[in-house]
Amino acid sequence: MKRLDGKHILLTRTVHQNAELDGLVRHYGAEPVMFPCLEMQPMADAAISGLSMLDECSDVVFSSSNAIHILAQLFKEQGVTLAGVLAGKRVAVVGIKTAAALKQYHVGVDLVPRTSSQDGLVEVYLKHGLPRSGLMFFRADEGREALAMALTSRGVKVVMVPVYRMTRPTADCAAIKAGLASGGIDAVLLGSAKAAHNYIRRINDIKLASQPVIAVISAKLATAAKNEGLDVQVVAQDASFESMLDALSAYYESISS
């Protein structure tokens, strides 16, 4: 028997990301239940404006594949390629999945942290050398500032370029609420503080939102989710959905033994 055989797992990422996660959840024997709590909106004007300063930066960094795909499409519409625009830059990413996204567009990656986080990126820059001139950080319009703060304090000019924003979907969620109330949804996967916040807002009932097992991708997210009122039972060891599903499997094994 697979470790999550028969469990109904609520997926709270964007529509596109949920589709990618579907196969992984099924691999564990579970049944995915789609409930997008994030909707991505490109910020083309802000991205183009920020790119005007790219010549001043020796380094670029990406913290998500979302920014990569949006920029690649934006450049395609302008008749250029992501690889061409980034030629000659030292490229850093937050993790191997982000590196794989760049590889799709024939962009090589120079720096990948062992720990998939901004803190991990700080360690990589300290080990391999700070940017010679500036650093351009392609990202969502909100998020952690750990990398920018660490490099700025060491004299590096950091240019933050918002490429997209995440908003809360407004589609009806009566069926999901009914599933939560009836116990038909066994667990919820939360991969970001924004997803956790929007999940709570969409359900609009903290007791109902905490009805299933709440699984989160990191200890920091566990703290944020608990501060929002969620009862978190499962925390991934590593910042990945595979690790989250492993931890969820271990949780169910522990309560059944």
Q: What is the DSSP string of 152-191?
A: HTTT-EEEEEEEEEEE---S--HHHHHHHHHT---EEEE-
Q: Are the CB atoms for 75 and 85 separated by under 8 Å?
A: yes
Which CATH number is associated with domain 8-38+169-256? 3.40.50.10090
Distance CA 53, CA 55 (A): 6
The pLDDT of residue 1? 44
Per domain, the residue ranges of the chain are: 8-38+169-256, 41-166
Q: In the sheet that 213-216 helps form, which strands lie side by side, from edge to edge? A: 31-34, 8-11, 187-190, 213-216, 232-235
Q: How much is the pLDDT for 9?
A: 98
Amino acid at 190: L
Tell me yes or no: is domain 41-166 CATH 1.10.3720.10.
no
Q: Tell me, what's the pLDDT at 115?
A: 82
What does the alpha-carbon distance between residue 233 and residue 78 come to, in Å, rounded to a whole number? Answer: 47
**Do the strands 134-140 and 187-190 form a parallel or antiparallel pair, or are they unpaired?**
unpaired
**218-234 residue pLDDT tens:** 999 999 999 999 999 99
8-38+169-256 and 41-166 share one fold: yes
Task: Determine the Cα–Cα distance for residues 13 and 138; give it in Å rounded to an integer.
Answer: 20
Degrees (nearest 5) of the Cα angle 164, 170, 243? 60
Residues 10-27: pLDDT tens digits? 999 999 899 989 999 999
Q: Please report the pLDDT score of residue 2 as a whole number.
A: 63
pLDDT digits (tens, 9 = 90+) for 48-75: 888 889 999 999 999 888 899 999 999 9
List the strands of the sheet with 57-62, edge to edge.
Answer: 39-42, 157-167, 134-140, 57-62, 90-93
Residue 227 burial (C-beta neighbours within 10 Å; 0-12, 13-18, 19+): exposed
Residue 51 confidence (pLDDT) = 86
- Each of the 257 residues of the chain gets a pLDDT tens digit; together they read 468 999 999 999 999 899 989 999 999 999 999 999 999 999 999 888 888 899 999 999 998 888 999 999 999 998 999 999 999 999 999 988 899 999 999 999 999 998 878 889 999 999 999 999 999 999 988 877 889 999 999 999 999 999 999 999 999 999 999 999 999 999 999 999 999 999 999 999 999 999 999 999 999 999 999 999 999 999 999 888 999 999 999 999 998 86
Distance CA(134)–CA(61), nearest Å, equals 11
State percent of the chain over pLDDT 90: 82
- Ramachandran category for residue 7: left, alpha or beta (phi over 0 → left; psi -120 to 50 → alpha): beta
Distance, in Å, from the CA atom of 135 to the CA atom of 92, rounded to the nearest integer, reads 10
Alpha helices in 37-95 (DSSP H): 44-51, 65-77, 82-85
